[in-house]
Structure 1
Amino acid sequence: MKSSVGFILFLSFHLFLSLPYPSLSAHAKCNAHDKQVLLEIKAAFNNPYHLASWNPDVDCCGWYALDCDRNTGRVIALTIFAGNISGEIPPAVGDLPYLQNLMFHKLTNLTGQIPSAVTKLVHLRELTISWTNLSGPVPSFLSQLKNLTSLDLSFNDLTGSIPPSLSELPNLLDLHLDRNKLTGSIPDSFGRFAGNSPDLFLSHNMLSGPVPKSLGNVNFSIQIDFSRNKLEGDASFLFGKNKTIQFVDLSRNLFEFDLSKVEFPDSLTNLDLNHNKIFGSLPVGLTELNLQFFNVSYNRLCGQIPQGGKLQSFDSYNYFHNRCLCGAPLPACK
């Protein structure tokens, strides 16, 4: 009798373990309003195969290229990339009120301009529109998205100047405007960001003029890349012993300053100054840095390359085409 009772209890226990746990597996269904907006976006893109999973008969939280909040069913991420998507970004994207991440990436047939409707996305933290054929300006209205931590508009056909109002974004950590056709100067306001200064990626544009002196007061946390523009004048104030920056790329510009007087931060690991008009000698302080990349070729430098540190670990191509630079890895000084 005892064995029979024990067997029944054993079966009951294992049956209990096999039952689903609603509190762990429950997932709120997609919000009906958000679902309708997504279908409008799909229709605006002419119902591409890339969005074939966007079936109105299926819960939209299971659709491709988006994420929902598990508790509310509201769409919080729309990330469309690497698909055959044609047309312009539909204004309907602004009707997903809880969106935190919006991405259109590697969509070469995406055209038009950045729609002002995105300003309705007050919860947006990450906005990525990159590797597309979007044109027009970098809109100043993007400064209304106060919760943005990342703004990536790289690899497009954007033109015009950089709006100074972007410095009003208090939570921005990185700003990518590289590989466009932007003109004008770097805004002076970029030396006075409302929050911490973001890493700046402005390379491969047609920016001109001097770097604003206000940027000398900024301690960029990791990286700045101003390469391949038409920037000129003194940029030595971007450095300093009290800074914590790690990567600096000022290559292929028209910068002209005395490198021998520059003090570099101990944190610096990557420094690219090639193809400028920089003069003077290489400061001995460079030997104290843990450099992983270093290039000063095609400048107007003179004198002996300091011995020690990592400076001799780079080959001659990182030093050649200077006025009278000498010493290993270049030929010995005469």
Structure 2
Amino acid sequence: MNNSNFVSFSFFCFLFLSQTFLSFSATERCNPNDKKVLLQIKKALNNPYQLASWDPKTDCCNWYVVECDPNTNRIVTFNLFSANISAQIPAAIGDLPYLQTLVFRKLTNLTGPIPPAIAKLSNLKLLRLSYTNLSGTVPTFFTQLKNLTFLDLSFNDLTGSIPPELSLLQNLDALHLDRNKLTGNIPESFGKFTGKVPDLYLSHNKLTGSVPKNLGHLNFTVLDFSRNTLVGDISFLFGTNKTIQIVDFSRNMFEFDLSNVKFPDSLTSLDLNHNKITGSLPQDLRKLNLQYLNVSYNKLCGQIPTGGKLQTFDISSYFHNKCLCGAPLPACN
């Protein structure tokens, strides 16, 4: 090959390699800072199999578990689910400033407290840390996440009391604190949510005391206080002017007369089993489009009203009461 041809060939190779490099660079959408943080997170989680696609030579917008915003190319979703990981939540998670969805779910070997670094995620809308072995208290720093619409801390080993400050989250649609080891009272501040009125899931804890009366001033859609040791009268949570749809107050120590309680037309599920409720079943229950009903294991008396959906439920919805009778239970004497 003469010098002229060699120069031409070399120039052609240079152009080809340059174009290939530029083409690869053009397809690399991932923000370099986000990629660096993600690789730190991978290392902190001990390089689990679920993050095998996190190859630094590839575009992090194409990695499993995460998603990029198509406009900004910043990481907006981190969803780690059903993985065999023995670690704590890395503090580096707080260095993904555009994150809107953060999920660590069904990770039974995920331990330790909820890291304060999460408070830096000011754009976060959905936070789900559930079905793990996270311990410690429910942090008050969640109040810094003003954009949160969904907070799920269920199925963990969290202890201590419920922070009253959570009522300051104005955009919250649902709050899941169920299936933990929380103690103390339901905060009175939960009757003073300053924005939306969230669905409240507080079941399967060790909560005590009475339900704050001011919760009766709000229109909840879902209330689940089941399997605690709560006491007192909760009839104020009902009323014809309410919009509540699903109620589960079962397995507590509530004690009140059910006879004259007025239920809203919106109610579709009512579970009051295993309490100390007295009186009779209100006739107005016949008007409701109930999909579920359980008033068993109380101290109710009188005839079950006839009509509506009340006879479509089996004996287990009514048995073990003081003197309740009528279909589907045996006839009244």
TM-score (norm 2): 0.91
1:258 equivalent to 2:230? Answer no
| Contact 2:35/2:60 (8 A) holds in 1 | yes
What residue number does 2:61 align with? 61
Q: For residues 35 and 299 of structure 1, do their structure 2 counterparts lie closer, same or farther at Cα, with a shift above 3 Å needed?
A: same
Tell me how far apart the structure 1 counterparts of residues 27 and 274 of structure 2 sit (CA, whole Å): 56
Cα deviation for residue 28 of structure 1 reads: 6.8
Secondary structure of 1:268's counterpart equals: coil
1:110 equivalent to 2:110? Answer yes
Tell me how far apart the structure 2 counterparts of residues 324 and 70 of structure 1 sit (CA, whole Å): 64
Counterparts in 2 of 1:189-228, with a 5 A limit? 189-220=189-220, 222-228=221-227
What residue number does 2:232 align with? 233
| Contact 1:316/1:329 (8 A) holds in 2 | yes
What residue number does 1:179 align with? 179
| Contact 1:68/1:76 (8 A) holds in 2 | yes
Secondary structure of 2:128's counterpart equals: strand
Question: Which 4+ runs in 1 deviate beyond 4 A?
Answer: none
| Contact 2:169/2:195 (8 A) holds in 1 | yes
CA deviations over 1:63-85 (Å, ceiling 9, x no partner)? 00010011221000000010111
Cα deviation for residue 316 of structure 1 reads: 1.1
Secondary structure of 1:259's counterpart equals: coil
Q: Give me the identity figure in percent.
A: 69
Secondary structure of 1:106's counterpart equals: strand
What residue number does 1:300 align with? 299
What residue number does 1:141 align with? 141
Code of the aligned partner of 2:185: S
What residue number does 2:326 align with? 327
What residue number does 1:22 align with? none
| Contact 1:28/1:73 (8 A) holds in 2 | no
What residue number does 2:98 align with? 98
Code of the aligned partner of 2:282: P
Secondary structure of 1:183's counterpart equals: strand
Secondary structure of 2:35's counterpart equals: helix
Secondary structure of 1:224's counterpart equals: strand
| Contact 1:28/1:70 (8 A) holds in 2 | no
CA deviations over 1:185-231 (Å, ceiling 9, x no partner)? 110000111211100001111111000001000101x3111100001
TM-score (norm 1): 0.91
Tell me how far apart the structure 2 counterparts of residues 189 and 110 of structure 1 sit (CA, whole Å): 31
Cα deviation for residue 86 of structure 1 reads: 1.3
Tell me how far apart the structure 2 counterparts of residues 137 and 128 of structure 1 sit (CA, whole Å): 16
Tell me how far apart the structure 1 counterparts of residues 150 and 231 of structure 2 sit (CA, whole Å): 28
Code of the aligned partner of 1:216: G
Cα deviation for residue 27 of structure 1 reads: 7.3
Secondary structure of 1:76's counterpart equals: strand
Tell me how far apart the structure 1 counterparts of residues 332 and 47 of structure 2 sit (CA, whole Å): 68
| Contact 1:316/1:330 (8 A) holds in 2 | yes
Tell me how far apart the structure 1 counterparts of residues 193 and 55 of structure 2 sit (CA, whole Å): 44
| Contact 1:206/1:230 (8 A) holds in 2 | yes
| Contact 1:129/1:152 (8 A) holds in 2 | yes
Tell me how far apart the structure 2 counterparts of residues 84 and 287 of structure 1 sit (CA, whole Å): 50
Tell me how far apart the structure 1 counterparts of residues 71 and 316 of structure 2 sit (CA, whole Å): 57
Alignment root-mean-square deviation, CA: 1.0
| Contact 2:61/2:73 (8 A) holds in 1 | yes
What residue number does 1:15 align with? none
Tell me how far apart the structure 2 counterparts of residues 193 and 216 of structure 1 sit (CA, whole Å): 12
Secondary structure of 1:72's counterpart equals: coil
Tell me how far apart the structure 1 counterparts of residues 194 and 79 of structure 2 sit (CA, whole Å): 28
Code of the aligned partner of 2:201: F
What residue number does 2:42 align with? 42
Code of the aligned partner of 1:223: V
Secondary structure of 1:167's counterpart equals: helix
What residue number does 2:287 align with? 288
1:279 equivalent to 2:278? Answer yes
Cα deviation for residue 59 of structure 1 reads: 0.4
1:158 equivalent to 2:158? Answer yes
Please list every run of 5 or more consecutive structure 2 residues that lacks an aligned counterpart in the other structure. Answer: 1-25
